Amino acid sequence: MTKPVVLIAEELSPATIEALGPDFEIRHCNGADRTELLAAIVDVDAILVRSATKVNEEALAAAKKLKVVARAGVGLDNVDVKAATQAGVMVVNAPTSNITSAAELAVALMLAAARHISPAHAALVNGEWKRSKYTGIELFEKTVGIVGLGRIGVLVAQRLQAFGMKVVAYDPYVQAGRAAQIGARLVDLDTLLAESDFISVHLPKTPETVGLIGADQLAKAKKELVLVNAARGGIVDENALYEALKSGQIAAAGLDVFDKEPCTDSPLFTLENVVATPHLGASTDEAQEKAGVAVAKSVRLALSGELVPDAVNVQGGVIAEDVRPGIPLTEKLGRVFTALAGEVAQQIDVEVRGEITEYDVKVLELAALKGVFADIVEDQVSYVNAPLLAAERGTAVRLVTESESPDHRNLITIRGTLADGQQISVGGTLVGIAQKERLVEVNGFDVDIEPTEHLAFFTYEDRPGMVGTVGRILGESNVNIAGMQVARHAKGGHALVALSVDSAIPVESLAEIKGAMTATQVRAVNLS
C-alpha cells in the first residue's frame, strides 16, 4: 500500500518531519519557484508551507489529489481559503504556535520603553555615559491596561501580574466574570485610557479596530503612559502616536507592528522615546518549531479523516475548550444512529442543548455527520467531505441549539426521519469532572449506559423473562455483558434493552435473540 505524499515547500523545523512520522512519503520543493511548485504539487496529498509559497486557485487546480494545505504559522494571506474550500481541500494553520513568543515580546517592549533601553544602549556604544538622562520607571504597583483579552492578552496580563501590576482590560466580547478569573477588571476604553500607566494592545485588525486608539483617545491618557503595540499595525494611529510622543502627551511607546510593512522609514523612528522591532512577535526558535509540529499533527489527523481543530475552513477556527469533549461523543452518537436506522435518513437534526450553546458548536454537526457516514461509505470520511456526502445522498441536515436543558447540563441528540417516516434518535451527555460519555436516550427511551466499543439494542413487547433470555443466549455465545439498561414507556408496552458487551455479538446470536424475544428491532453497534 502506497504512503500518502506530503510536500514540504519551504524550510521548516526538523521537528516537523519527526512529528509527521514514518507513515508518509516526504518530498521537498522550493515553493517560491512557481514552475517547480506546480510540477511538484500534482500528485501530493498534503502541502506544508510558510509565507513564501502561494497556494492559490492555479496551484489547487494543479493538485489533483490534494486533501490538505498546512500553513506553519498564523496568517493565511498566501492561501486562497475560498478556492480550497470549493475544491474540498482542508486548510489548517497553527494559531497558537506563537502566542507565548508574542506575549513575551510585548513584555520586553514594555520594559525596554520604561527603562529607555534602546537610547541608553545607543548612547553607550557612541561613547556617552548618560545615567541621569535615562532614568526610567518601575512596573511594580502600576496599572496596566490590556486592550483585547484574547489568548495573547491573557498571557500578557498573567505575566505582568507577576511584576505586581494591577490589571484593567477592555474587550467588548468578554464577560466581566471571565476577566475576573484572570485577575483583571473589565472597563470601557475611556476608563482604561484614564487609569492606565501602561497599555498593551492585543486585538485583531478589523474594520472596527483600525484607528481604535487615535488622537482623541491619547488625549485622555496619562502623560506617564507607556503604550505597547505588538498585535497588528493600524490599531494605533501612527500619526497621532507620533504627535503624542513628540509633544509629551504620553511618555513612551514600544512597537513591533506597523500600518504598512515592511516599514523601514517612519517618523516614529526618529524619537528617542520609541523602541521598535521589525514584527518579531513570532520570531523565536520555539514558535517556529511549535508551528511546524502543530501543522504536522493536523496533517496526520486530516489524512486519517479525523477532527482537525485548527482547520480554518471546516469549523471556523479553534474549538472552544468546553465544546471539545463533546466531539468524540457526538461522532459515536452518529455511528449509533446509523446502526439504529439501518439506512440513510432523509432528514437529520443535530440538537445541542445546555451551557455549551454559548459557544460555536458547528463542529458538533460535522462530528455527527462523520459518525453517521463512517460505516456506510467506502471512502475515508472527513470533516470536509461529510457535509458533501450528506448532500450527495439527499440528506437535509440542520443544527438546532437550545440553551435550556432540563435533565442534563449539556445534551447532544441526533434525530432523523427515514424514508418511511420512522423517527430515529439517540442522545448522549458527559457526566462528572472526568466528563465520562453516557448514552441517555435511544428512540425515545431513557437509558444510562457507557458507549463502549460493542453495543446492542433490542426493542420488544414488555413481558417477563426477556432479560433472562438475553443473558442466557449471550452467555452461551461466550459474550460477557458489561452493562445493561431496560427501559419502557409503560407496563406491558414497548420496551428497550440496551447493552454494552465486551466483544462483538455473533450474527447467529442476534438472530436467536430476535426470535426468542419476538423483537421488533435488533441492532448491534461496533465502535472499535
Render pLDDT for 260-290 as a digit per residue (tens, 0 to 9): 989 999 999 999 999 999 999 989 999 999 9
Mean pLDDT of 454-460: 94
The larger pLDDT score, comparing residue 320 to residue 191, is at 191
What backbone torsions phi and psi does residue 482 show, to the nearest 5 degrees?
Answer: -90, -35
- What per-residue confidence (pLDDT) applies to 379? 57
User: Alpha-carbon distance 383 to 366, whole Å?
Assistant: 6
**pLDDT for the residue numbered 195:** 98
Please determine, for residue 524, whether its predicted confidence score (pLDDT) is greater than 50: yes
DSSP secondary structure string, 83-135? HHHHTT-EEE--TTTTHHHHHHHHHHHHHHHHTTHHHHHHHHHTT---TTTT-
So what's the pLDDT on residue 316?
A: 41
Under the banding of pLDDT at 50, 70 and 90, the label for residue 490 is: confident
Give the confidence band of 320 by pLDDT, cuts at 50, 70, 90: confident
319-451 maps to CATH 3.30.1330.90: yes
- From the list 255, 267, 263, 341, the residue with the least C-alpha distance to 525 is 341
The residue to which cell 498534503 is assigned:
46
Retrieve residue 450's grid coordinates.
457507557
Q: Which of 272, 281, 227 is nearest to 103 (CA)?
A: 281
Mapped onto helix, strand or coil, the DSSP state of residue 470 is helix
pLDDT band at 492 (very low <50, low <70, confident <90, very high): confident
Q: Does domain 452-528 have CATH number 3.30.310.10?
A: no
Say how far apart CA 401 and CA 29 lie, in whole Å.
46
* pLDDT higher than threshold 90 for residue 252: yes
Catalytic residue among 261, 286, 355, 392: 261
Q: Name the active-site residue from 116, 232, 335, 415.
A: 232
Is residue 279 among the annotated active site residues? yes
Is residue 310 pLDDT above 80, yes or no?
A: no
Tell me what the mean pLDDT of segment 349-375 comes to: 92
Predicted local distance difference test score (pLDDT) of residue 318: 55
Mean pLDDT of the chain: 91
Catalytic residue among 27, 115, 185, 279: 279
pLDDT > 90: what percent of the chain? 72
Q: What sign results for the dihedral spanned by CA atoms 286, 291, 296, 302? A: positive
pLDDT digits (tens, 9 = 90+) for 130-157: 999 999 999 999 999 999 988 899 999 9
Strands 423-431, 436-442: parallel, antiparallel or unpaired by DSSP? antiparallel
Domains of the chain by residue range: 5-95+287-303, 99-276, 319-451, 452-528
Q: What is the DSSP string of 356-375?
A: GGGS--HHHHHHHHHHHHHT
Who has greater pLDDT, 303 or 380? Answer: 303
Query: Mean per-residue pLDDT for 83-109?
Result: 89
Q: At residue 337, does pLDDT exceed 60?
A: yes
Average pLDDT over residues 178-182: 85
Annotation says 409 is catalytic: no
| pLDDT at residue number 378 | 60
Helix (H, G, I), strand (E, B) or coil at 528: coil
Residue 10 has pLDDT above 70, yes or no: yes
Answer whether residue 371 shows pLDDT above 50.
Answer: yes
- 99-276: same fold as 5-95+287-303? yes
The architecture (CATH level 2) of 5-95+287-303 comes to 3-Layer(aba) Sandwich (3.40)
Q: How far apart are the first and last CA of the chain?
A: 23
**Structure confidence at residue 267 (pLDDT):** 97
Is 398 a known active-site residue?
Answer: no
Q: Which three cell numbers stand for residue 500?
A: 454494552
Residue 353 · residue 411 · CB < 8 Å: yes
Structural fold of domain 99-276: Rossmann fold (3.40.50)
